[in-house]
């Protein structure tokens, strides 16, 4: 019977067939120990020379790492084995005999591994990371779907900027018209939220970021919920429930992978509501205290955006995400609503993950005033024609509304406890990398 490695424990004592690839091979005299992987797990086989045909023994002997093969054998329980079982191989069919697989158990540099990303994906750690990504995505959808949100996809070709003009990828759109790859589906979400109440979009987004940091990709996946009749506070409550749900789901379903990644799971267990909410001014105070104590290198100037070291310092004060709100309007996007009492602040929030993972969520309350929005569009040097439809949303039934965006890769890197977000997407796109 054909089965998968993940299901072997259900077949102890039975003869099964596994289709996969050779992960590793050890042999000693009259025994061979091929390790097989099939995408669902890894299992060790035992081949006894005296109990298989000489042809089969000779066919298996020279196989290199990642040769493809179909193995039949009896499942034997073995407490010492990683998955609790081993396979006593009775038959094996070689599909393709591979040699000199470039990625070996020895250490390779990151550039070499990224050049060989198409093969690197087969490694244990990469496999674990992408399994966690899968679970993060599933959790995101399950949470929003069961919380009354409707999925409304937003376009990838857009006529104008959403998050600043400096990070736009321009594309030729049949000669006359300029188009840009979307930076965020938010503006369209605001339209669909007025039609459906609670919506989300979830897709690839693009930023021509010239930054070469461990947190930036040029193409990343963003999930963006948007709610009509909702305020900044509502958005913070949603973000809190959302992140806690994701962390719990990862803990519930990815124990094996977290073990492979040597993740300290107590860090994920700490992600439960409520999250601390810190006004920007108080964040600045904390940064100043940090500076006086020598824990922050440069004295932070009120009015600036938080840099990666500032975010890391602030989040180091908590064991769960911290929500910094009321940023100075000058450092935030054109669509943000202003604090009615203090016009210099925007009703925006950044959720900073612990352990130095930085901003995982950015969002807030959107302006409802047509007049103010027109001013902002002009002040940001944006073309008004491209925003006429967006202004319509303030002309016809404008209501308080709010939402946020979360980058799937940043969230996954944090769940996995890994250094760089480039390993959280199958094929990363970065400043200096468009291949493979
Ligand atoms: O803070 P950002 O730029 O916010 C927006 O785009 C809003 N329009 C979202 C909204 O309110 N609907 O991006 C949101 C999130 C960030 O917090 C981060 O997780 C991720 O998107 N992100 C990136 N991830 C990887 N690489 C990049 N270059 C990223 N830029 C943003
Ligand atoms: Mg942001």
Q: What distance in angstroms lies between residue 312's CA and the mean position of ligand 2's atoms?
A: 15
Q: Which residues contact 393 (CB under 8 A, 6 or more apart)?
A: 190, 191, 194
414 lines ligand 1 (CB under 6 A): no
- Cα–Cα distance measured from residue 224 to residue 271, given in angstroms and rounded to the nearest whole number: 20
Whole-angstrom CA distances from 414 to 216, 251, 421 are: 14, 13, 9
Q: For residue 226, which atom of ligand 1 is closest to its CA?
A: 12
Here the tokens at position 308 are: 């990666």
282 CA → ligand 1 middle, Å: 23
Contact 402, 235 (CB under 8 A): yes
Q: Is the CB of 359 under 6 A from ligand 1?
A: yes
Structure tokens at 78: 């073995």
d(CA 203, CA 214): 21
Ligand 1 in contact with 224 (CB < 6 A)?
yes
58 CB burial (10 A radius; 0-12, 13-18, 19+):
exposed
134 in helix, strand or coil?
helix
Q: Whose CA is nearest to atom 20 of ligand 1?
A: 407
The Cα–Cα gap between 214 and 206 comes to 16
CA of 202 to the centre of ligand 1 (A): 12
CB of 217 closer than 6 A to ligand 1? Answer: yes
**Measured between alpha carbons, how far is 378 from 23 in angstroms, rounded to an integer?**
59
- The closest-lying atom of ligand 1 relative to the alpha carbon of residue 410 is 19
The alpha carbon of 71 and the centre of ligand 1 are apart by a number of angstroms equal to 46
361 lines ligand 1 (CB under 6 A): yes
pTM: 0.96
Per-residue tokens: 84: 């609790």
Burial of 423 (0-12, 13-18, 19+ CB in 10 A): buried
Give the residue whose CA is nearest to atom 23 of ligand 1.
407
| Strands 219-228 and 401-407, bridge-based pairing | antiparallel
Q: In this predicted structure, what is the pLDDT of residue 36?
A: 98
- Residue 355, C-beta contacts closer than 8 angstroms, at least 6 positions apart: 267, 315, 414, 417
How many angstroms separate the CA atoms of 126 and 425, rounded? 10
Find the 167 Cα to ligand 2 centroid distance in Å.
13
The CB of 201 under 6 Å from ligand 1? The reply is no
Residue pair 428/217 in contact (Cβ under 8 Å)? The answer is yes
Cα(222) to ligand 1 centroid in Å equals 7
Q: Which of 109, 28, 105 is nearest to 66 (CA)?
A: 105
Ordered DSSP codes for 235-263: HHHHHHHHHHHHHHHHHHH-HHHHHHTT-
Reported as half-sphere exposure (CB side, CA atoms, 13 A), residue 259 has a value of: 7
Ligand 1 close to Cβ of residue 428 (< 6 A): no
Return the SS3 of 177.
strand
Kindly report the protein residue whose alpha carbon is nearest to atom 4 of ligand 1. Answer: 362
Identify the pLDDT of residue 105.
Answer: 79
User: With contact defined as beta carbons under 8 Å apart, do 30 and 48 qualify?
Assistant: yes
**244 Cα: distance to centroid of ligand 2 (angstroms):** 20
Phi, psi of 383 (to 5 degrees): -75, 120
Do 347 and 326 meet the contact criterion of CB atoms below 8 Å apart?
yes
Instruction: Verify whether ligand 1 is closer than 6 Å to residue 365 (CB atom).
Output: no
Using the mean position of ligand 1's atoms as its centre, give its distance from the Cα of residue 241 in Å. Answer: 19
Ligand 1 site, residue 337, Cβ cutoff 6 A: no
CA 332 to chain centre: 23
Of all protein residues, whose CA lies closest to atom 24 belonging to ligand 1? 407
Closest CA to 408 of 391, 430, 425: 425
Mean pLDDT by 10 residues, the chain (436 residues): 96 98 94 97 96 95 97 96 93 97 91 97 97 98 98 96 90 89 98 98 95 94 98 98 98 97 98 98 97 93 94 95 98 97 97 96 98 96 94 98 98 98 98 94
- Which residue segments constitute the domains of the chain, with CATH numbers given? 5-96 (2.40.50.140), 117-424 (3.30.930.10)
> Closest ligand to 351 CA?
1
- Give the model's pLDDT for residue 164: 86
């Amino acid at each position: 019977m054909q089965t998968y490695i993940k299901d072997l424990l259900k077949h102890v004592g039975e003869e099964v067939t596994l289709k996969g690839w050779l992960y590793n091979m050890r042999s000693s005299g009259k025994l061979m120990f091929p390790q097989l992987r099939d995408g669902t797990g890894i299992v060790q086989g035992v081949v006894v020379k005296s109990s298989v045909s000489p042809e089969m023994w000779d066919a298996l002997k020279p196989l290199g790492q990642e040769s493809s093969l179909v193995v039949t054998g009896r499942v034997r329980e073995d407490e010492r084995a990683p998955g609790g079982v081993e396979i006593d191989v009775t038959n094996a069919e070689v599909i393709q005999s591979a040699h000199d697989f470039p990625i070996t158990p020895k250490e390779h540099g990151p550039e070499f591994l990224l050049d060989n990303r198409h093969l690197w994906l087969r490694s244990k750690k990469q496999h674990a990371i992408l399994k966690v990504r899968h679970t993060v995505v599933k959790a995101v959808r399950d949470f929003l779907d069961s919380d009354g949100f409707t999925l409304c996809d937003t376009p990838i070709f857009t006529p104008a900027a959403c998050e600043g003009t400096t990070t736009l990828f321009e594309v030729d759109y049949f000669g006359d018209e300029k188009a840009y790859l979307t930076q965020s589906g938010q503006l369209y979400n605001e339209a669909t939220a007025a039609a459906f109440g609670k919506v989300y979009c979830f897709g690839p987004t693009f930023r021509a970021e010239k930054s070469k940091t461990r947190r930036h990709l040029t193409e990343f996946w963003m999930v963006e919920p948007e709610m009509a009749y909702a305020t900044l506070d509502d958005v913070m409550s949603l973000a809190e429930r959302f992140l806690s749900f994701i962390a719990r789901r990862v803990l519930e379903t990815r124990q094996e992978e977290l073990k492979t990644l040597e993740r300290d799971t107590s860090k994920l267990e700490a992600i439960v509501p409520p999250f601390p909410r810190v006004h920007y001014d108080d964040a600045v105070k904390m940064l100043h205290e940090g500076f006086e104590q020598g824990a922050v290198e440069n004295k932070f100037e009120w009015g600036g955006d938080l840099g990666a070291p500032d975010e890391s310092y602030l989040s180091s004060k908590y064991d769960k995400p911290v929500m910094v709100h009321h940023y100075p309007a000058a450092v935030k996007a054109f669509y943000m609503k202003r604090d009615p009492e203090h016009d210099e602040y925007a009703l925006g929030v950044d959720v900073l993950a612990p352990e130095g993972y930085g901003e995982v969520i950015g969002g807030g309350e959107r302006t409802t005033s047509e007049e103010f929005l027109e001013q902002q569009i002009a002040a940001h040097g944006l073309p008004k024609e491209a925003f006429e439809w967006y202004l319509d949303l303030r002309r016809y039934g404008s209501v308080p509304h709010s939402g946020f965006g979360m980058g799937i890769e940043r969230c996954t890197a944090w769940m996995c406890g890994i250094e760089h977000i480039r390993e959280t997407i199958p094929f990363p796109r970065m400043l200096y990398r468009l291949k493979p």
